[in-house]
Structure 1
Amino acid sequence: MSEPKQFDASLSAPKHWIAVAAILACGMVAGALILRTPGTPTPAAASGHADADAHQDGEHHGQPAEKHGDHQEADKHSDEEHHDAKTDTADKEKTASAANPHGEDAHGPEEEEGLVPLSEAQSKKAGVTLAQAGAAAIRKEVLLPGEIRLDEDRTAHVVPRVAGIVASVHARLGEQVAKGQLLAVIHSATVSDQRSELQTAQKRLVLAQNTFQREKQLWEEKISAEQDYLQARQALQEAEIAVTNTSQKLAAMGAGSGGSGGSSRYELRAPLAGVVVEKHLTVGESVTESTASFTVSNLSAVWAEINVAAPQLPYVIVGAPVTVRATAFESAAEGKIAYVGALIGEQTRTAPARVALANPQGVWRPGLFVEVKVLADAAQVPVAVDAKAIQRPNGKDNVVFVPAQGGYKAQRVQLGRSDGKTTEVTAGLQAGQDYVKDGSFLLKAELGKASAEHTH
């Protein structure tokens, strides 16, 4: 048989196909393992690789020995490089382990979140003081604007009540005067006429009295008729009425019966003790019955007038205690609501109210603007802190600084009612727990500084 026919016959044999399939399968497995683990080959891969090398050696048995030697030297060089890389990596890991034997981060241990490290000496120097959270009374107050006014019950507006010319002025603006003290003198023709009429009536009265006494005696002696007696008695009564009427007119004017200065002299006198807060008279000035001449007020008591909006009316009732505080300077006084208006103004939509204030030192001057705090409600809460101890470092959460190991920690809290001085804590703090009362703002600044440095 020829050589081509023998080759074709060998290919058609089943054993040859099985051998070829086995070789191909081993090659595929070896390639997959090499691609999956590029490092040290697994035993299976090494076995497959050996089989493949044996097969290749069988196929290339006739090749020169020099090429086979070169291939082995290349494999040996690659293995040495791979071993050197592993050695370098291991050396670096050992060096890092020696530099950080405790396994800590290169940046150091992370500080506790919200902790401000501060020693006892630093705290004392910064003015940090502690207090205990506990039960307190929260007062709800309504703040209303107001103005100091004269107490109208202790104020007199003095007018002449007659027309005339001012002859003299005896009281100065701001002067303290007593009740009945002379304020000014006015010459009035009306007063002169009334006094002349009074004098005439008094003279007629004297004549009527004499006539009545004579007629009465004659009638009793049966000398004159009873009719003459009755006429004399009637004339006496009319004279008495005339005198009384004229005297009452002068009294209503405040003129009295006259004085040494003449029948036209009219005196203006203080109707009560107080301070001359207004003066509108000058010598030689012509006045009428309604000319505002003086205003005298007793400033030992004043009014604080306030305007109350409709939603605030339920809290402003007569007798409610209030605190009046000046806006221009540090001064406060206690008082009570004395009056609340029954009507709401059409323009202002508010109701007027009034607080009676004692003013023995004269501190509350009329015209002074004030703030009136009305106590609306009071409640007892189990846990409360000083309002200035509450801070908001991030602008959202309310925190209270509490003592911690190495400093002070920002404790998140939930707040309830507050009156501006004391604030209720509903969660985050327990009764009896210490907290920073003074110096919390400094701790907030230090906490913000630490956060900024950590961010950078």
Structure 2
Amino acid sequence: MIRTPFLTPAVLALTLSACGPSTSPVAPSDRIEAPAARAAIKLDDQQRRDAGIEIASVGAASIIEVVPVYGHIAAVADRVRHVAARYPGIARRVMKNIGDSVAAGETLLIVESNDSLQPYRIKAPIAGLVVERHVNDGEALGSDTLFVIADLSQVWAQLEVFPRDAVGLQIGQRVDIHADRTQAPVQAQLDYIAPSSDPQRRSIPLRATLDNASGRWRPGQFISADLEIAAHDVALAVSQAAIQDLDGQASVFVETAAGFVPRALRTGKRDRRHVEVIDGLQAGERVAVGNSFLLKSEWLAEAED
């Protein structure tokens, strides 16, 4: 029976059924041979659901060649406003703080003019977020910036790439933006590639625009990204999640009439999603993808008996 704590009690009752040699044309040197005492791992539909075992057919795929890059989030330049006093005076009432949302035309500050001694209002020129404030009640005002307001409904992903990795980059190419690598990336497109490298950093600045209606992205936030620089169409590929290491070989668990059995592979190109299969599988064969590590645990446990 399966000895891993990841399975539910229903799946702990798995039975094993004997199976003969695989009929696959893969050369013996490329295959993990099951000893006579070993058996295929037999699961019914309910046991598969309980264990979270997902199955996928082997077929063609595109292997995406990527370059990892890093950068930060920045406000879109034409969506930022610097607000100053129209006339010199004294700040009588500051009405907004950093982090406050403001509507276009909303009062930020009431100022008493030095000339007329009459109060006037300084208003937000655009809707957005107060990202800087440089004034307090009672202070004398001149021409310095008092507030910076940014419309962050869209932001820039500012990235940098080394010149050697920039060959072939084009406007419109896909880039996957990560706030952290534990979450799914946000897909975007390059909309700016600097014509020359930064002389100090010796890198080429890149940019992609991100929708930020949810407020997920904040200026200054560190990000990483994957630039897609080439796509390679391959005849056969499997999901990265299907690959397990058995005896130092990249292997998958193939669904057969008798149950799941491991099959060693000769692999080629790979990306974050797929691995090219050069030898070891045929188009249309079905392999375990989700939670395939549970099958590996069972197979190794049986080998110890």
TM-score (norm. length: structure 1): 0.53
The letter for the 1-side match of 2:230 is D
Matched, 1:340 2:193: yes
SS at match of 1:137: strand
- Counterpart Cα distance in 2 of 1:357 and 1:155: 16
Structure with greater proportional helix content = 1
| Structure that is richer in strand per residue | 2
Q: Aligned match of 2:98 in 173, 177, 180?
A: 173
Q: Deviations over 1:143-170 (max 9, x none)?
A: 3222221111100111236543222223
Report the AA paired with residue 217 of structure 2.
W
Read off the aligned partner of 1:112 and give its amino acid letter.
Answer: P
Q: Deviations for 1:78-131, whole angstroms, at most 9, x for unmatched residues?
A: xxxxxxxxxxxxxxxxxxxxxxxxxxxxxxxx9627954323349636444433
Over 3 Å counting, the alpha-carbon distance change for 1:439 and 1:304 in structure 2 is closer
Question: Which whole-Å CA distance do the structure 1 matches of 2:73 and 2:203 have between them?
Answer: 18
RMSD: 2.9
- What is the aligned partner in structure 2 of residue 358 from structure 1? 211
- The alignment's TM-score, normalised by the length of structure 2, stands at 0.76
1:140–1:187 Cα change, 3 Å: same
User: Aligned to 2:289, what secondary structure does the other structure show?
Assistant: strand
Kindly indicate whether residue 32 of structure 2 is the aligned counterpart of residue 112 of structure 1.
no
What amino acid maps onto 2:166 in structure 1?
Answer: L
In the TM superposition, 1:254-403 aligns within 5 A as 262=116, 265=119, 267-290=121-144, 292-327=145-180, 330=183, 332-394=185-247, 396-403=248-255
**Aligned partner of 1:283: which letter?**
D
Q: Counterparts of 2:111 and 2:176 in 1: how far apart (Å)?
A: 46
Distance 2:126 2:255 in 1: 65
Letter in 2 for 1:139: I
State the one-letter code of the partner of 2:268: G
Q: State whether residues 114 and 447 of structure 1, in contact with CA within 8 Å, keep that contact through their aligned partners in structure 2.
A: no
Cα deviation for residue 265 of structure 1 reads 4.8
Q: Distance in 2 between matches of 1:400 and 1:348?
A: 44
Same amino acid, percent of matched pairs: 32
Specify the structure having the higher radius of gyration (Cα).
1
| Structure 2 unaligned blocks of 5 or more | 1-32
Following superposition of structure 1 onto structure 2, how do residues 95-174 of structure 1 map, counting pairs within 5 Å? 112=35, 115-121=38-44, 124=48, 126-160=51-85, 163-174=88-99
Q: Distance in 2 between matches of 1:293 and 1:368?
A: 24
- Counterpart contact for 1:416–1:425, Cα < 8 Å: yes
SS at match of 2:167: helix
Q: How does 1:414-425 map to 2 (within 5 A)?
A: 414-425=266-277
For 1:331 and 1:409, the matched residues in 2 are separated by 31
SS of the aligned residue for 2:74 comes to: strand
The aligned residue for residue 26 of structure 2 is none
Cα deviation per residue 1:23-57 (whole Å; 9 max; x = unaligned)? Answer: xxxxxxxxxxxxxxxxxxxxxxxxxxxxxxxxxxx
Matched residue of 1:174: which SS? coil
| Structure 1 residues 208-227: aligned runs within 5 Å | none
- What does 1:174-189 align with in structure 2 at a 5 Å threshold? 174-189=99-114
Moved more, 320-329 or 348-357: 320-329
Deviations 1:321-344 (A, max 9, x none): 323232287464332222222332
- For residues 369 and 285 of structure 1, the distance between their equivalents in structure 2, rounded to whole angstroms, comes to 35
Q: 1:127 to 1:279 in 2, by over 3 A?
A: closer
Q: Which has the higher contact order (CA 8 A, sep 6+)?
A: 2
Gaps of 5+ in 1: 1-109, 193-261
Instruction: Compute the displacement of 1:320 (Å).
Output: 2.0
What SS is found at the alignment partner of 1:327?
Answer: coil
